[in-house]
Structures are given as structure tokens and as C-alpha cells.
């Protein structure tokens, strides 16, 4: 075995250590994603998805390129590991992988516009001696218009640090 020192970069995730704790982000991944999609010069957005978006499959609506849609949503899923602020929006657009339509792709592009504005965000795991466990959950009870399924969200904190 060989000691390679402190972890700095792994699979697109940057790891920064400081006196405050460990900060992980994918700030180098986002510009590459924006360049790949031709959105490097796009107008930034304030939110990743509109409130009460009502996104669903509409009969007769034009489809978008399936491969491109799936590839972009897959990259956003990977990005949401260090960006819980986009997790809900990415979860919504991933519901339509089997039949993506133009308005679904528009929402994906909106998420990319939000990422442009918030490129430097990530997760900070603070140093502390507190090991209290806190968990929060919420659901919208049949908010999915297509399948009448509920959308559930949760997160868990240990010592004030997000773990799930």
C-alpha cells in the first residue's frame, strides 16, 4: 500500500479541508456540463424548478431526444450527490426518462441555468463533538398527476451534518 496523502479530487468531486471541516463540491463538473449543453453563456436562474410545476406527460405533445435527455438527467443525478438543493427537481425530471417531452427538457435546461448561478455550492461537514441524530420528512400526498403517487422527501443529520 502507498499513502497518497489527503484526498483532494475523486470522480469529479473536489474535497477541501479546513479548520471548519470538510467541504465537498463539483464546481469543476458544472462548467463542463454547461459547455457540453451549449449553455455556458445562458441567463442564470434563481430556482431549479418552479413551485407547483405540474409537470406531467401530455398526450400528443412532441417528444424530445431520448438519449440526450437521459444522459443529461443522469449527469444531474450524479451532481445531486453534492447538491441537495437540486435533488427534488432532478427527481421530478427523472420520472419522465421513459417518455421525455419538450417541456420536460425545458425544465432540465432550467436546472442547468440554476447551476450556473450557484456553481460554488456544495456540502460542508463541520467539525464538532456533537453526534445528535435528527431526521426530517415530508410528503405531498398524491401530487404526481400522472400516477397519483406521493412525493416523499427526507434528510438526516448527524451532529448537524447532512448524511442522507
All cell numbers assigned to 42 = 445562458
DSSP 8-state secondary structure symbol assigned to residue 86: G
Q: Supply the pTM of this predicted model.
A: 0.80
Per-residue pLDDT, averaged over 89-113, amounts to: 93
Q: pLDDT at position 64, please?
A: 86
How would residue 146 be classed by pLDDT, with cut points 50, 70 and 90?
low
Cell of residue 114, nine digits: 440554476
For residue 59, count CB atoms less than 10 angstroms from its CB and return exposed for 0-12, middle for 13-18, buried for 19 or more: exposed
Q: According to the model, what pLDDT value does residue 58 have?
A: 83
> Cell 421530478 sits at which residue?
92
Give the pLDDT score at 72. Answer: 96
Say what the pLDDT of residue 144 is.
66
Q: Identify the pLDDT of residue 40.
A: 92
Amino acid at each position: 500500500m502507498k499513502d497518497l496523502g489527503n484526498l483532494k479530487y475523486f470522480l469529479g468531486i473536489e474535497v477541501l479541508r479546513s479548520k471548519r471541516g470538510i467541504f465537498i463540491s463539483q464546481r469543476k463538473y458544472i462548467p463542463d456540463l454547461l459547455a457540453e449543453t451549449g449553455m455556458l453563456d445562458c441567463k442564470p436562474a434563481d430556482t431549479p424548478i418552479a413551485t407547483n410545476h405540474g409537470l406531467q406527460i401530455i398526450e400528443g405533445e412532441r417528444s424530445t431526444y431520448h438519449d440526450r435527455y437521459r444522459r443529461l438527467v443522469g449527469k444531474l443525478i450524479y451532481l445531486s450527490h453534492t447538491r441537495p438543493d437540486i435533488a427534488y427537481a432532478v427527481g421530478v425530471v427523472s420520472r419522465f426518462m421513459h417518455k421525455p417531452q419538450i417541456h420536460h427538457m425545458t425544465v432540465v435546461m432550467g436546472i442547468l441555468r440554476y447551476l450556473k448561478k450557484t456553481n460554488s455550492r456544495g456540502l460542508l461537514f463541520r467539525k464538532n463533538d456533537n453526534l445528535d441524530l435528527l431526521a426530517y420528512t415530508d410528503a405531498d400526498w398524491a401530487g404526481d398527476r400522472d400516477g397519483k403517487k406521493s412525493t416523499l422527501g427526507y434528510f438526516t443529520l448527524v451532529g448537524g451534518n447532512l448524511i442522507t
